[in-house]
Amino acid sequence: MNTYRADIDGLRAIAVLAVLINHLDSTFLPGGFVGVDIFFVISGFLITAQIYKKIQEGKFSLSEFYQRRVNRLAPALIALIGGVLLLGFFLLSPLDFHRTSVSSVFSLAGLSNFYFWREYGNYFSAGAADAVLLHTWSLGVEEQFYFLWPLCFLVLYGLLGRYFRFFALFVFMILLFFSEWASRSFPSAAYYLLPTRAFELLLGGLLALFVSGIRCNNSLLLWFSKCLGLLLIFYSFFYFSASTVFPGVNALIPCVGAALIVFSGSMSSPVRVLMLRPLVFLGVISYSLYLWHWPVIVFVKYFYVDVGLWVSFWIVGCSIFLGWLSWRYIETPFRASGNHFKGRQVFSRKVLLPLATFVGVAFISSATDGFSFRFPPEVQAMEHSLSTRPNELRAGCHVPSVLYATPIDENCVLGSLAHQADGLLIGDSYANHFSGMIDVLAKEAGVSIVDYTMDACPPLYRYLDRAAVAGRGEQCKFRNDYIFDRIKEGRYSFVVLAASWPSDEGAGDYLLNSLDVISSAGASVVVVLKNQTIKHANTCSVRSIMYGAYECRVSRDARQVYWERVRERYPDVIFIDPNEVICAGNYCSPVVDGVLLYRDEGHLNDEGARKIGGLMLSHYSAEIVKTWFPITGRQ
C-alpha cells in the first residue's frame, strides 16, 4: 500500500466541496452533508491501515499514535477557535458569544458533538445556523474514535489474531443496525454521537484490514467499483436532504461509495479525475478548509446577507484562502515541530494550555453574560427570553415523538391548581409553546387544564401523516387514538386543540372528525390558531438594536380554507387567535412592548407566550375569558 494516495486527497476535495456547497445553500446540493461521512470512511481506512502495519511490524505505540493525532489536529483547530473568539467578541450578541465560548472548550476537548446535541438538538434546525463552531461536531466523533479504536485494536487483535477482522465485521453489523434503530427513535442524538456513527469509520477500517496484502487485477471489477462508487456518492449528494432518515442504513450509501473508490485505488486502479491537481490541492488543505468554511458562512449570514451567486463565490474563495493560510503556516509547520517534543510536552502545549485559556474565556463570559456590556441592555433583556423554552419547562408533560406511549399525567396542570382537571390541552410543539399563554388565561378563568402534548403530532383523530420523518406519523396516530379514547370517556368539560395546523385541505376532514368525537363526548372545543411564522424572529430585533434597523415585520399569512368549514359546522367552537396580539393590521412583529415573543422562526418562548396571554386579558374582560373554557360538570 502506497504511503501517499493522491486519489484519496481528490476524494477529500469532493467531500469538503460538497459540505461547503450544502452549507452555502442546501437547495444547491441537498445531500452535500454526506461529505462528512466520506471523511469518516477515509479516516477509518487510513488510521486502521497505519495501526495494522505498525502492529505487524511490532512498532506500534499508543503514546506515539496519540501524539501524532494531536500534532495533526490541534494547531489548526486552536487557531480557528482563537480567531472565532476574537472576531466574535466584536460581532456576536452576548448569548451567541457565550455559546461560542462554551463550545470552544468542548471543541478542543473533542466533545463538541455532545454539546451541540444538547444545546441545539436537530443539526438542521434554524437556531444551529448561528453556532459558529457547529461543524466541529464531526471532529469530536473522529477524535473519540481515534481514542477508543487503537485500544480496542490492541486488546482484541492480541486475543483473536487473524480472526480479529471477522469480529470487527460482526461489530460493524451490530453498530449499523443500532444506528438505523436510533436514527428513527432518537434522530438528533443519532446524528451527532459516536455509537451511531462508528460503523462509518469502522467500514473504512474493515477495508484496510481486508485489502491488506491482497491484489486484484480484474480490470472489469475495478472499473465497476469506481463507477458504482461515484454513482453512490453523487446519488447521495442530490437525492438526500435534511428530511432523510440519517445516519443508519442511508449513510451506508455514500460510505460504500467512498469505500469502493478507496478500494480501487488500493488495487493500483485509482479514479484518475480525482488525481487532477486542483482537486489534490483542495484535498491537501481539506482539514483547514473544513475548519474555516463554516465560520465564514455564519458570520456572513449573521448580518442577513443574501447569499446569491457572487456572494457564494466570495465565500468559497475566502474559505479556500483561509484554509490554505492555515495549512501552510499553522497545520504543516506545527505538525513537523511537534515531532521534536515528547508526548507530555505536546499534550500540555497543544491541548492543556489552550484548553485552560478557552475555559477562562468561557468562565468570564458566563460571569459577564457574554460580555453584555458591549451592547445596549435591551439586547440582554431580549435574549434572556430565548432561554425560557416551553419544551424544557414542561418536560414530561410535553414529550418528543419517541415517547409517544407516555400516558396522560394528571399532575401536568395549567391554570388553577385548586381542583381536578376541567379540560385537556392536546397537540404538537406549537401546543406546547402556547402553554404559557393558556396558563395565564386559565388562571383568570379559574379552570384547570391538563397539558398533554408531543412533537410533530397535530391533534387530529385517525390522521396519518405519511410524509412525517422516521415513522413519526404512526407514532402520532397511536397517541391520538389513546387521547381520543380518553376523551370519549367524558372526563373533560372542554378540550383545547392547538398545533402547527397542516396546510393540506384534506386535514380539514380529520379536524371535523376530531370535533365530532369531542362533541359526542359532551365536551366543548377550544381551538388555538397557529401564530404567524416570521423569518429570523428570534434574532432580527436583537440585531436591529446591535447594528441598526432591519425590517423584522412580515405580512400576515392567509388562513387555510378548511377553517371556514369548521366554523360552519361548529359555530360554537371557541377560537383563540394569538395573531390578534402579534399582528397589527396586515403586519406581524416578533416583538411586542419590548418583549421578544419567539425562540425560533415559528415557536414562541415561554416569556413571549405569557406576554400574549397577558395582552389578551387586557383586551377581554374576565367574564369573556371564562366563556372560553366552559365547565359542564366535573367528574
User: Per-residue pLDDT tens for 215-246?
Assistant: 888 889 999 999 999 999 999 999 999 989 99
Diameter over CA atoms, the chain = 87
Residue 450 pairs in a beta bridge with: 413, 424
Is the CATH number of domain 389-532+556-580+605-628 3.30.450.40? no
Q: pLDDT at residue 273 above 60?
A: yes
pLDDT of 336 reads 77
pLDDT of 339 reads 67
pLDDT of 635 reads 42
Mean pLDDT of 69-96: 96
Q: Which of 64-68, 214-218, 220-224, 310-314 is predicted with the least confidence, judged by mean pLDDT?
A: 214-218
Report phi then psi at 217, rounded to 5: -110, 10
SS3 408: coil
Give the mean pLDDT of the chain.
Answer: 93
Residue 583 pairs in a beta bridge with: 588
What DSSP assignment string belongs to 476-526?
A: HHHHHHHHHHHHHTT--SEEEEE----SSTTHHHHHHHHHHHHHHTT-EEE
Mean pLDDT of 63-81: 94
Q: Residue ranges of the alpha helices (H) in 489-605?
A: 507-520, 540-547, 562-569, 579-582
Mean pLDDT of 372-395: 94
pLDDT of 572 reads 93
pLDDT of 506 reads 87
Q: pLDDT at residue 121 above 90?
A: no
Mean pLDDT of 236-263: 96
Report phi then psi at 617, rounded to 5: -65, -30
pLDDT of 560 reads 86
Mean pLDDT of 201-207: 97
Mean pLDDT of 131-157: 96
Residue listed under C-alpha cell 449528494: 237
User: In this predicted model, what pLDDT tens digit does every residue of 502-560 receive, in sequence order?
Assistant: 988 889 999 999 999 999 999 999 999 999 999 999 999 999 999 987 899 999 998 88
pLDDT of 156 reads 93
Q: Residue ranges of the alpha helices (H) in 521-621?
A: 540-547, 562-569, 579-582, 606-619
pLDDT of 550 reads 87
Mean pLDDT of 599-615: 96
Question: At residue 198, what is the residue type?
Answer: A
Residue listed under C-alpha cell 468562565: 363
DSSP state of 560: P
pLDDT of 398 reads 97
Residue listed under C-alpha cell 372542554: 494
Confidence at 86, pLDDT banded by 50, 70, 90: very high
- With a pLDDT cut of 90, the percent of the chain lying above it is 83
Q: Give the residue from 138, 116, 270, 250 showing the smallest Cα distance to 188.
A: 116
Task: Give residue limits of the domains in the chain.
Answer: 38-267+330-374, 389-532+556-580+605-628
pLDDT of 1 reads 47
Question: At residue 94, what is the residue type?
Answer: P
Residues 6+ apart with CB under 8 A from 406: 399, 454
> How many Cα atoms sit within 13 Å of 196 on the Cβ side?
25
Q: What is the reported pTM?
A: 0.93
Q: pLDDT at residue 634 above 50?
A: no
Q: pLDDT at residue 437 above 60?
A: yes
Confidence at 469, pLDDT banded by 50, 70, 90: low
pLDDT of 465 reads 80
Q: pLDDT at residue 331 above 90?
A: yes
pLDDT of 344 reads 76
User: In this predicted model, what pLDDT tens digit does every residue of 588-597 receive, in sequence order?
Assistant: 999 999 999 9
